[in-house]
Amino acid sequence: MILDGKTVSEKRLELLKEEIGESGLYPRLATVIVGNDPASQMYVRMKHRACERVGIGSIGIEIPSDTTTEKILESIAKLNRDTDINGILLQLPLPGQIDTDRVINAVKTEKDVDGFHPTNLGLLMSGKPLFSPCTPKGIMNLLADYRIPVAGARVVIAGRSIDVGRPMAALMTNADATITICHSRTRDLPAELRNADILISAVGKAHFITPEMVKPGAVVIDVGINQLNGKLVGDVDFDAVKEVASAITPVPGGVGPMTIATLMENTFFAATRMS
Ligand code: NAD
């Protein structure tokens, strides 16, 4: 079974559009992008397009790459104060000279629709999330839509970043799964991955996950976005692994659209809390 994130996300966006319409609110998202990395620019454009589609206003703050941490902090402070702005999305990564942690920590918790602020990550860890990071939350929503049971399942996650691996583990823990997090220092990664009922890969290496690493019948979630011979591919060798897995997300059209839909949902949630 192909887990069609594109279709599920469209369904969720339609539902959200109705909810926003009925709420009488006009949620607004501000995106902050530093520099002109083409991939980041493309992600931000996609987010603005999704906003337009569901009835969320959006503004884009563009800051040149030769900026300073202080200048970005000033922009964030302004957005924090602006009562017309409900959500702030800081497009990562930031240029090397910037203190990324300081900038993330400056985003007001109530507007932190990406869920990367330590307070939001802490709330998630404590089992009482306010805003959860969009990619792992989107994956939970995708699994729920396909009625794939998570409680009691053995979930193995490859990757321990704060945007995917770590919050994914927390969300899965909160949903009663049994979790293993793997990373670059994991001994015998294939053996760990073969234990998975649900295997989630967020490593960022094309065709990294091969059929030998997948238990027959496992659900495979591919978070990776990689370029291979001019084509967009995930971490999973899709054609080979789909023969072993019971369900698998494609790249593109799997996790990516779910991430954007979740950002829209988080922004509306922020607006309802502020109203
Ligand atoms: P990251 O670079 O911060 O983290 C990569 C992780 O992979 C690290 O924790 C590292 O320990 C682990 N890793 C590296 N080599 C490994 C190995 N040989 N064995 C096991 N683990 C290994 O990356 P990230 O931000 O988590 O992103 C990962 C991938 O997911 C990237 O391709 C990124 O573009 C993609 N991504 C997609 C979405 C989406 O919406 N689809 C969102 C975020 C990230």
Q: For residue range 233-259, what is the model confidence (pLDDT) as tens digits? A: 999 999 999 999 999 999 999 999 999
CA 254–ligand 1 middle distance (angstroms)? 16
pLDDT tens by residue, 178-195 = 999 999 999 999 999 999
Examine the residue annotation and report whether 112 is marked as an active-site residue of this protein.
no
How confident is residue 229, by pLDDT bands cut at 50, 70 and 90? very high
How confident is residue 124, by pLDDT bands cut at 50, 70 and 90? very high
Query: Ligand 1 pocket by C-beta < 6 Å: which residues?
Result: 135, 158-161, 163-165, 182-184, 186, 189, 202-204, 223-226, 255-256, 259
Domain range holding 47?
25-110
Do 85 and 182 lie in one domain? The reply is no
Long-range pairs, 79-84, Cβ under 8 A, ≥24: 79/30, 79/32, 79/111, 80/106, 80/107, 80/108, 80/111, 82/30, 83/274, 84/28
| Total tally of structural domains belonging to the chain | 2
Q: Considering the domain boundaries, does residue 78 fall inside one?
A: yes
CA 162–ligand 1 middle distance (angstroms)? 10
Do 150 and 222 lie in one domain? The reply is yes
Do 80 and 158 lie in one domain? The reply is no
pTM for this one?
A: 0.98
Which CATH number belongs to the domain containing residue 222 in this structure?
A: 3.40.50.720
